[in-house]
Amino acid sequence: MVNIPSYKIINLNNENIDNYDLFCSKEKNNQGYKNKVEWLRERFKEGLRYKLLMIQNEENDYESGGFIEYIPGELVWRGIHAPDWMAIHCILVSNKYHNL
């Protein structure tokens, strides 16, 4: 039986985005990281949602274990038509936590 660790799901937004590392990039001084944060800030205004999975590790700290990024289907800029649905831009779980 797998022992499931404690976890939190954080709803990132313009007020708290600076308090967390983005899952795909953790180097906050990197220009790509800064660009992603600015892109997210603009997309949050358009209805984008970013949920960050924080999992308690062996040191009892919380670390990012995955995330999902999604937007209302009527606002998606990809080649789909999905009113009244949500469109997932990206979803990822760390290899470290695939067995949970």
Per-residue pLDDT of 9-32, as tens digits, reads: 999 999 999 998 887 766 788 898
Taking the model in full, what pTM does it have? 0.84
pLDDT digit string, tens, across residues 25-84: 667 888 988 999 999 999 999 999 999 999 998 898 998 899 999 999 988 877 888 899
99 pLDDT above the threshold of 80: no
Read off the amino acid at residue 39.
W
DSSP 34-72: HHHHHHHHHHHHTT-EEEEEEEE-TTS-EEEEEEEEEEE
Q: How confident is the model at residue 1 (pLDDT cuts 50, 70, 90)?
A: low
